[in-house]
A and B are shown apart, each in its own frame.
Chain A
Amino acid sequence: MSTDKIIEVRTASPVEGIGRRPRRGAFSSPASLRRWLLPVPAAAVFVGLFIAPVAFFFAMSFWRKKAMRLVPDFTFENYVETWEKYAGVIAITLGIALATAVLTTTIAFAFAYLIRFKAGRLGPPLLFITLLTLFGGYLVKIYAWKSILGRDGILNSALLWLRIVREPLTIFIYNPGAVVVTLTYFLLPLAILPIYGSLRTIDDETIEAARDVGARPRHAFRDIVFPLARAGTLAAFTLSFLVAAGDYVTPRFVGGPYTAMIGDFIEQQFSLRFDWPMGSAMSFSVLAACIPVVLLAAACLSWSGRR
């Protein structure tokens, strides 16, 4: 695809191919064979500690719990029960996750666009702030919003202190809005980076060339910038959507009675009920329910890029 082409063109070394050892025929000598052993540990981690556990966990969704013991089986009961008991919760979860992902991706796109094309010298500092907050405490960020939005929290006490309100307001926390704001908060830097990454591959010359041959700014954006940013935008959307759909700490801290999210119930199967097969069926049900949304988003993005 075209972004890769740009990377290739830019990075191709002028002396490429001058070295005597040919790039092809990688297995031709023992030394190059050894080279292919380099990624083995990483592959082992990926397969042994990611694929295998997830596969085993998936198999467990067909097990059953019998008198506090987990018995291997092949039953769909857990899925049936998930559907019967948690269909509503999954729907709410997907709704909150979708709202979060759309909000996060929109802000992230505009901010990445600002960094790349509009901010000029301020671009690098803005990117720097983004990177800095990227790893700054997942739990701390959620806790921070709890202490901002709470009844005795920072926002209410500031409003009281400034005599804007007489009584603390309870509208800020324990509602879907608080969950969406908090999720958006910690997902935003994660969403900005892939979008910025794809915007960075766009040459100024390409856009200038389009402008030179008479493209209006709007058209240059639609025909050049947006198509090239599509992969990063979709990555940002998918990441924020999936992480939001699986989060259980945020709804527990700032969500209320109407924001029961599925992650919360999944976690309880492990911390309270010891019904791991049920927890597994719930996990894979919500992941399966996420797939159509991601595919739809991909379809929307590629459709919106066309005339």
Chain B
Amino acid sequence: MMRAMAPPLWFAFGFAVVVFMLTPLVLVVVFSFGRNALTSFPMGGLTLDWYRALFANDTFWGAAKNSGIIAAAIGLGSTVIGTMAALTLSRLPARYAQSALHVLAFPIMLPALVIGIALMAYFVRLLNVPLGLPTVILGHLVITQPFVILIVHARLTGFDHSLVDSARDLGASPLTAFLTITLPIVRTTIIGAALIAMAVSLDDFIVTFFAIGNGNTIPTLVWSMVRTTLDPSINASATILITLTIGATLLALWLSRYRG
């Protein structure tokens, strides 16, 4: 049935899916520059007013700072522990490594709502930890670590471990062997994985919402804007969020010399 489809039909289908995937995001970006306060046609002239209003708002800068702190902590923490795990997994027989990857990916499969409220209940009721940025970072470790492990592990499949073993036989310490042999080979992948983890972290709304207590990140700010007001700056803050997450993804793809 798939093969029976004529090439023009495939072209039309692919085109339709691409339009479907891109149009809504493009519209948000376009309307963030529209003079008309409503997100509707005609959009009026171009303006930067909504960005000016947003940048004059202290709440926005507080949220941006929190998002930045969390993303930086995740870019470092999740990447280090995820890479360490991927290094070990890549030495396991493929069968065991695949099973381990399936189990480690559970947090992506489960609805974020369940993870978010379970973490909140755990922190507040069992551990008596006050909610705040540290608890958000811990929560984001859970949802970003699978991505890092999957990405770095994928790069390390086919990695020739005998290179590292030879270095070790010649007297290099494990750290030296890692820094001089493994790291140069997988460095771009690790940076790519860090950027993806940061994109996931910047993008996350649900886990953040439950784990942060008071305070805002950019997604929770967008949430409160959409829910409470018809603030035309919504499109501007949404555009900033799109720029950050897609920018990180784009950089990751470029660094890992994305080959398709």
Contact = CB atoms under 8 A, between A and B. Distances in A.
Interface of A: 4, 7-8, 10-11, 13, 15-21, 23, 26, 31, 34-36, 38-39, 41-43, 45-46, 49-50, 52-54, 56-57, 60, 70, 107, 110-111, 113-114, 118-119, 122-124, 126-141, 143-148, 152-154, 156-158, 160-161, 185, 188-189, 217-218, 220-221, 238-239, 242-243, 245-249, 253, 263, 266-267, 270, 276, 279-280, 283, 287
A144 B25 contact: yes
Contact of A123 (B80, B122, B139, B260): B260
A19 B165 contact: yes
A177 to B, nearest CB: 15
Interface stretch (B46-54, B56-64, B88-96, B183-191): B88-96
Contact of A246 (B110, B141, B145): B110
Q: Which 4 A-B pairs have the closest CB atoms?
A: A246-B111, A124-B260, A19-B162, A157-B40
Given A13-B160, A36-B88, A143-B238, 15 more contacts: A42-B85, A42-B145, A49-B142, A128-B258, A139-B238, A140-B25, A143-B226, A148-B27, A152-B40, A188-B21, A242-B109, A246-B112, A247-B113, A270-B120, A276-B121
B85 A38 contact: yes
Residue among A13, A128, A139, A218 with the highest chain B CB neighbour number at 10 A: A139
Chain A interface SS verdict (over half): helix
Nearest to A11: B158
B84 A42 contact: yes
A57 B121 contact: yes
Chain A CB within 10 Å — which of B120, B141, B222 has the most?
B141
The interface centre, meaning the residue of B21, B42, B115, B260 with most chain A CB atoms within 10 A of its CB, is B21
B246 A119 contact: no
Interface string B174-210: 1000000000000000000000100110011110001
30 contacts: A7-B157, A11-B157, A19-B165, A31-B174, A38-B87, A46-B142, A49-B141, A53-B115, A53-B119, A57-B118, A118-B7, A128-B260, A129-B21, A130-B21, A136-B245, A138-B206, A140-B28, A140-B222, A141-B25, A145-B24, A148-B24, A152-B40, A153-B39, A242-B109, A243-B109, A246-B111, A253-B226, A267-B113, A283-B114, A287-B114
B85 A43 contact: yes
Contacts of B133: none
Interface string B88-132: 110100110010000010111111111101111110011000000
Contact of A132 (B27, B88, B250): B250
Contacts of B108: 239
Interface of B: 1-4, 7, 10, 13-14, 17-18, 20-22, 24-25, 27-28, 31, 38-42, 80-82, 84-85, 87-89, 91, 94-95, 98, 104, 106-115, 117-122, 125-126, 138-139, 141-142, 145, 149, 157-158, 160-163, 165-166, 168-169, 174, 196, 199-200, 203-206, 210, 219, 222-223, 226, 234, 238, 241-242, 245-246, 248-250, 253, 258-260
Contacts of B226: 139, 143, 146, 253
A106 B245 CA distance: 27
Contacts of B219: 137-139
B253 A50 contact: no
A163 to B, nearest CB: 12
Contacts of A49: 119, 138-139, 141-142
Contacts of B149: 42
Nearest to A109: B2
Contact of A46 (B126, B145, B253): B145
A107 B91 CA distance: 36
Contacts of B41: 154, 157-158, 160-161
A56 B2 CA distance: 47
Nearest to B85: A42
A57 B126 CA distance: 10
Nearest to B253: A131
B114 A122 contact: no
Interface centre among A143, A157, A161 (most CB of B within 10 A): A143
A143 B142 contact: no
Contacts of B196: 135
Contacts of A123: 260
Contacts of B169: 19-21
Contact of B253 (A13, A128, A152, A253): A128
A195 to B, nearest CB: 13
A287 B41 CA distance: 42
Given A128-B260, A287-B114, A18 B203 contact: no
Contacts of A31: 168, 174
Contacts of A43: 85
A54 B18 contact: no
A1 B110 CA distance: 25
A35 B169 CA distance: 15
Nearest to A189: B21
Contact of A154 (B27, B95, B122): B27
